[in-house]
Amino acid sequence: MSQDANAFQTALALILSLDPDLLDIVRLSLQVSCSAVLLAALIGLPLGAALALWHFPGHGILVVALNALMGLPPVVAGLCVYLLLSRAGPLGELGLLFTPTAMVVAQVILVLPIIAALTRQQVEELHHEYREQLQSLGLSRLRMIPTLLWDARFGLVTVILAGFGRASAEVGAVMIVGGNIDGVTRVMTTAIVLETSKGDLPLALGLGIVLLGLVALINAGAYLVGESARRRLG
Amino acid sequence: MYKAGVTLTAIGLMGLSMTAVSQDEERHITLASTTSTENSGLFDAIIPQFTEATDIAVRVVAVGTGQAFEIARRGDADSLLVHDTAGEERFVEEGYGTERADVMYNDFVLIGPGDDPAGIADAESADEAFAAIAEAEAPFASRGDDSGTNRAELRLWEAAGVEPGGEWYRELGSGMGPTLNTAAGMDAYVMADRATWVAFDNPQNLELLFEGDEGLFNQYGSLLIDPERHPHLKHDLAEQWHEWLLSDEGQQAIADFEVNGEQLFFPNAAN
């Protein structure tokens, strides 16, 4: 119990001290995870909508594969990206291993299936509901994609937050492809692992509380934006 | 209006993410090294001195020695600082490394629960201590991760004439710190490098029970990687780091590093 109280004190002290090292780590965490979610959304939203609207041979297999990939272990994603970006790997020339870019790539792989699979499900339901209306407007399926995505936007915010949760919480992938280099690729989760391995459990838990607080803030922000938009639309 | 706001936010985030990606152009080398050197704080103490002298930053990827070799073999690190002399010599023989040099040493220590059920505190030698643990079938936490410490531990079991296995011998497959955390949780014996042990903050019931045997010697070596095999690596910069570690300046920096008033690494480069 005393250790838990200690962790809250540590967390509070960390936040109040505005330690520049901690701020760097927080900034990098947000940059990496936000970039990954953004890129995954740019690909995953249209991809999910397309899978909802087009049915083709092998469609079912693709949907199942996408759903299964939601459970991809981060370590495996990290290992794949490591082998890809390692100097001995196919993209080694780029020299991207142990950089924040490599971490973004790994997290995109983790987040993309979540966003695409959940988007497909949301858009498919909406499409069933509005199919006749949309067809009477003479919209092609390609033109339906932005319309349906826009109509589903409130639900999709939650989808994107789920993706962000995955990105900000994982440690296995960024540890392998980033290397947890001090000041270069150290993010919140890898810092927590490091402090745990040093046996500084209060600091590790304190960092965990700071991370949880950040994620909560971002979720609260999304909630408020959603609520006010909903109210405006009546 | 709302849509425009979303787009603007998206573009802003994109810009933010690009700065994360492009801040990468300082002069630096990537050093693959062990968790013991990183966790004890040695690098935080000596790297700034090197950077000040040469204007080269050192980015440390701290992993187990086995993984460090693999990273270097694949051409993903410019230099190596590890602790498995036999493995290091093999690395050079196989043509991956061009040069290996002794840098510093410390020692391994045997840690265990304070009440010492196997009675290793009174052992005359490391062999005897290891044999006593096996005899008592007292829980022993092994790294089990092919690290330098793990390899040294396996050699010590062999020297003690014990083939470790069974309920009491627990291979954890994790780094030194996590292994100490787990050993503390289950009151197990564990072999650790002294640096990680001294800097470790969560000992609970664990105490240092046995030390000082020749077999517990722990040598660290610095390696340079073959430029012909991996021409893209920063050999010039890595060589400066290697030379600095062996120089009087570097050796002094290592000797000056202390935790709680205790020197953790003892320089022994052959000059």
List pLDDT tens digits, range A61-75: 999 999 999 999 999
Q: What are B95-142's pLDDT values in tens digits? A: 999 999 999 999 999 999 999 999 999 999 999 999 999 999 999 999
Q: How far is CA B42 from CA A147, A190, B46, B143, in A?
A: 58, 19, 6, 21
The answer to whether residue A225 is domain-embedded is no
In order of their start, the domains of chain B are: 28-105+218-267 (3.40.190.10), 107-216 (3.40.190.10)
* A99/B202 Cβ within 8 A: no
Residue A233 covered by a domain = no
Predicted structure pTM score: 0.87
Nearest CA in chain B to A232: B2
For the stretch B60-98, pLDDT in tens is: 999 988 899 999 999 999 999 999 999 999 999 999 999
Residue B124: which residues within 8 A CB-CB, separation 6 or more?
Answer: none
With an 8 Å Cβ cutoff, are B181 and A34 in contact?
Answer: no
Q: Is B20–A197 a contact, with Cβ atoms under 8 angstroms apart?
A: no
Chain-chain contact of A194 with B200 (C-beta, under 8 angstroms): no
Q: Residues B256, B262: contact at Cβ < 8 Å?
A: no
pLDDT at position A230, please?
83
Site of tokens 């062990």: B34
CA of B51 to nearest chain A CA: how many angstroms apart? 14
- Report chain B residues whose CB lies below 8 A from the CB of A89: 74
Residue from the list B177, B203, B232 with its beta carbon closest to the beta carbon of A87: B232
Q: How many domains does chain A have?
A: 1
Give the tens place of pLDDT for each residue, B143-177.
999 889 999 999 999 999 999 999 999 999 988 99
User: Residues 172 to 201 of A: which have CB under 8 A from any B CB?
Assistant: 179-182, 184, 194, 196-201
Domain that holds residue A51: 27-197
Cβ separation of A35 and B201 shorter than 8 Å? Answer: no
Banded model confidence at residue A149, pLDDT cuts 50, 70, 90: very high
Whether residue A110 is contained in a domain is answered as yes
Spatial CA neighbour of A101 closest among B189, B22, B86: B22
DSSP, res A92: G
B269 near B251, Cβ under 8 Å? Answer: yes
CA-CA distance, B145 to B85, in Å (whole number)?
17
Report the gap between the CA of B105 and the closest CA in chain A (Å). 21
Cα separation values, A67 from A36, A70, A116, A121, B197, Å: 19, 5, 9, 10, 44
Average pLDDT, chain B: 90
pLDDT for res B14? 55
Of B20, B43, B180, the CB nearest to A28: B20
ipTM: 0.82
- The CATH number of residue A103's host domain is 1.10.3720.10
